Amino acid sequence: MGIREVVTAPRSPWQNPYVERLIGSIRRECLNHVIVLNERHLQEILSSYFKYYNQDRTHCGLDKDVPAERQVQSRPCEYIKIIRLSRVGGLHNRYQWEEAA
């Protein structure tokens, strides 16, 4: 079939489209919008973003689903309230139904 393996050079993410896509998403959706104060702050921001990325952010390649499966929430019949769940320090949000008391 004429298929050959192409090895990417070390420390060359532009040669690996999967890594390039992830790095681009981290930069565009997170790091372009915050001022990083130090290494510890960067680690906190990135761990919060990775949690958001895997548990809340929808992915087109997964048919608008998330990598970590979660229960689909059906709309309550009446007396509903939409609550906002802040993610990545308020940079992103997730919304869900809650019955109003």
Q: Which region, left, alpha or beta, applies to residue 46 given φ > 0 means left and ψ of -120 to 50 means alpha?
A: alpha
Q: Say how far apart CA 34 and CA 89 lie, in whole Å.
A: 10
Tell me how crowded residue 89 is: count the other CB atoms within 10 A of its CB: 13
More confident residue, 47 or 80: 47
pLDDT digits (tens, 9 = 90+) for 5-55: 878 887 776 778 888 888 888 999 999 999 999 999 999 999 999 998 888
Q: Which residues of 32-56 are buried (b: 16+ CB within 10 A; e: fewer)?
A: eeeeeeeeeeeeebbebbeebbeeb
When comparing pLDDT for 79 and 48, which is higher? 48
Domain boundaries, the chain: 13-99
What does the pLDDT read at residue 101? 60
